[in-house]
Structure 1
């Protein structure tokens, strides 16, 4: 069965897109067949995986609005990851979907047509809690929350957790909260550790290991249309490889997820 993981946080700049692209590449490296879905109208995931959103004729927008089947918009990438791309047209999808009954299930229905062709589907949710994010959460088995290790990082986390609870009550009772993923982590400071301890205590939220370090390699990789796992090895790429191994062990053998010690 396909495992569907939504990566969500309505706060921008927390490395959602970096996490989806890098984790997808790491899972592909472990032999998993991976599909990523770009639900952000900005199309950053699409661009970072080597496709120009401005040159695409169809995208996830046409899928969600029922114009084309999902199979017809899937693109392949240089790193062996399959991609459902996004374009700026997606910004108008929310208005279209709001007029339709069962609008939160549009993505779930589209993924069901793929007949479990993929081992893992990663959904890059936009930085909001609108209809697109609700589609991602409704379609997912679990949700991962990237969380930057900076002051006020917890702002919005409570609202996201309330949304997850509401989705469980209304559209997806089986949705699991996988935990928070520390990003932009600077091991040289105690500040990052203090932020994570605050989040873990305040929301009783598991903090997954390893923490993703702050590194310029992420920006360089996105600009070149590849992931941080391509090319020379880096601490960031290694962290995502370890996270992928952690998740695969959890999915395959129900092993307990490794968590970050905040003590």
Structure 2
């Protein structure tokens, strides 16, 4: 079983859209896939028309394997299940700080479903916290959408610094440019700067700023399900394919 975390320490960069499309692409490729929503806003579950879990509250996510597995819901797509979030997930850091081995509890909790899935996709909240450190330790790869702007560039570099300071392997980080607008000279400048500085940590696939991605909330479905042959759809598929090729090395 592999674990892919879709993460950014900056909000509004397309993290949940990435998680939803990566999970869909994995399931469509024949992999038994679980999309685990760790963000208390529950956007991933919303996109798949899955209601928040009412029973998986407080510390039960980390302490009650049976309740965790019972909270998993089937999606409308073959090979794809959803573990929806709820607002109590906002207190995960509090619960983890009280637990023994609090920085590795997520990996232990996910072992409860190890035999049921080939791939787990984590949709993570946008912060650096004890939960995110759990994510970094549990994940085989951390997929990071980066808007080619100065602030997004800065947060990506902060993430690299965090990994270095905490002796986490930087090879887990796989950034890609999201919401790219070719007409903006700044986007081109930032892309060039980041490729020069962090080329090994960045995918070649880029996802453009596109209405198909924005309409995911209206359609409540992945771009790869509603518009797979659009520019955005092909870009999302390319991100998945390139990431899987990297993880398989």
**Above 0.5 in TM-score?**
yes
**Counterparts of 2:116 and 2:64 in 1: how far apart (Å)?**
21
**Counterparts of 1:158 and 1:87 in 2: how far apart (Å)?**
30
**Counterparts of 1:163 and 1:60 in 2: how far apart (Å)?**
29
- In structure 2, the CA distance between the partners of 1:113 and 1:52, relative to structure 1 (3 Å rule), is closer
| SS, match of residue 122 in structure 1 | strand
- In structure 2, the CA distance between the partners of 1:114 and 1:65, relative to structure 1 (3 Å rule), is closer
| Selected match of 2:175 from 170, 180, 197 | 180
| Selected match of 2:54 from 43, 49, 57 | 57
What residue is the counterpart of 1:257 in the other structure?
none
Q: Structure 1 stretch 209-218 or stretch 66-75: which is displaced more?
A: 66-75
Q: Deviations over 1:169-194 (max 9, x none)?
A: 3xxx6673342111001133343221
Number of residue pairs matched by the alignment:
246
Aligned ranges for residues 1-12 of structure 1 at < 5 Å?
2-12=1-11
Q: Which runs of 5+ in 1 are unaligned?
A: 255-263
Aligned ranges for residues 145-156 of structure 1 at < 5 Å?
145-156=144-155
Cα displacement (A) at 1:62: 4.9
More helix by share: 2
Root-mean-square deviation (CA, aligned residues, Å) is 2.2
Dislocated runs of 4+, deviation >4 Å? 60-63
Cα displacement (A) at 1:33: 1.5
Cα displacement (A) at 1:222: 2.4
Question: What TM-score does the superposition give when structure 1 sets the normalisation length?
Answer: 0.84
- In structure 2, the CA distance between the partners of 1:125 and 1:60, relative to structure 1 (3 Å rule), is farther
Question: What TM-score does the superposition give when structure 2 sets the normalisation length?
Answer: 0.89
Q: Judge conservation of contact 2:54–2:86 (CA < 8 Å) in 1.
A: no
Q: Judge conservation of contact 2:20–2:44 (CA < 8 Å) in 1.
A: yes
Cα displacement (A) at 1:140: 0.7
Q: Which runs of 5+ in 2 are unaligned?
A: none
Q: Judge conservation of contact 2:180–2:209 (CA < 8 Å) in 1.
A: yes
Q: Judge conservation of contact 2:106–2:138 (CA < 8 Å) in 1.
A: yes
Cα displacement (A) at 1:211: 0.3
**Counterparts of 1:155 and 1:245 in 2: how far apart (Å)?**
27
